[in-house]
Amino acid sequence: MKKILPLLAAYLVLALSSFIMLRPDVVGYQVGDKVVDFKLKNVDGKLVSLADNKAAKGYIVIFTCNTCPYAQAYESRILALHQKYAPQGYPVVAINPNDPGVAPGDSFAEMQKRAKAKQYGFPYLQDETQQIAKQYGATRTPHLYVVARQGADFVVRYIGAIDDNSEDATLVKTKYLENAMTDILAGKPATVNSTKAIGCSIKWKRA
């Protein structure tokens, strides 16, 4: 037993080290940070950036995907968020960060099919290199960020979850995102500006 324990400990250290090496650096943005703009391919084949919509006061940027059960459960709520806040200057921009090599159901072709079937009224972008997810610090699907225009920049105002019940929209008690948007639209900092994102881990590219 005394000989086995050191070997087991060494194995665990090696396994943990290998796991850590496979994980990208996802420190990401904090509330108050300026975000770097991007150009990502939409399901219609066109490139989309935050700067494209000159009338936007900001965006609800949501890292989501086709395959995660949490993302699927929140899909109708994401559609509703766009319908509610796009007319107020904060449209949804959805970004799929998953590597289709790990999750084939998140390929660009499958993204196109889902966007058409569900009638997305917002861009659904492919983060092919996963660089944008890393910049933002996204780790889950869904994981959302509200960014508000500040001069020529966009600044993070809220990070985290949509609400407190991923399983059943009818049982939601606290609508984190909507509460934050009420403050933001009133020109105030969100009272609660950060919550824990609940969802599937992003499927990162294999090393």
Taking a C-beta distance cutoff of 8 angstroms, is the pair 64, 78 a contact?
Answer: yes
Window from 5-9, 23-27, 174-178 with minimum mean pLDDT: 5-9
The mean of the pLDDT values for the chain is 90
Give per-residue pLDDT as tens, 23-78. 455 589 999 999 999 999 999 999 999 999 999 999 999 999 999 999 999 999 99
For the entire predicted model, the pTM comes to: 0.87
**Cα–Cα distance measured from residue 164 to residue 150, given in angstroms and rounded to the nearest whole number:** 29
